Amino acid sequence: MTGEAPITPMRLAFFERYLTVWVSCAWSPASCSANSRPHLTASLSQLEFGRDSQVNVPIAVLIWLMIYPMMLKVDFTALGGIARASRKASR
């Protein structure tokens, strides 16, 4: 050793550490809803862009909502700072 400080492994943030839990919490109600209301699932599957396009409108919208913030390079960690700053300013 040449006197270098030991490298400490970085820990995942709270959200990333429990990502499996968050995904399960999101999918469970959706799965139960789909099983209990098959007519809703059938009507949503009928929403397509054009005839026989095989592009489902609700899926396309949800994927767009997921990708759009990445395209804008939104820094979600900074959003917490904005909320705290606005609370301080309103006092």
Note whether 40 and 59 are same-domain residues. no
Q: Output the tens digit of pLDDT for each of the chain's 91 residues.
A: 566 778 887 888 888 889 899 889 988 988 888 888 888 878 888 888 887 788 889 889 989 998 988 888 877 777 777 777 777 777 6
Token pair for 79: 């959003």
54 lies in which domain range? 48-91
Count of domains for the chain: 2
Q: Is residue 60 within 8 Å of residue 49, measured between CB atoms? A: yes
Task: Tell me how far apart the alpha carbons of residues 40 and 30 are, in angstroms, rounded to a whole number.
Answer: 11
Note whether 62 and 83 are same-domain residues. yes
Task: Tell me how far apart the alpha carbons of residues 63 and 90 are, in angstroms, rounded to a whole number.
Answer: 36
31-54 burial: b if 16+ Cβ within 10 Å, else e: eeeeeeeeeeeeeeeeeeeeeeee
DSSP 50: S
In a domain, 1, yes or no: no
In a domain, 68, yes or no: yes
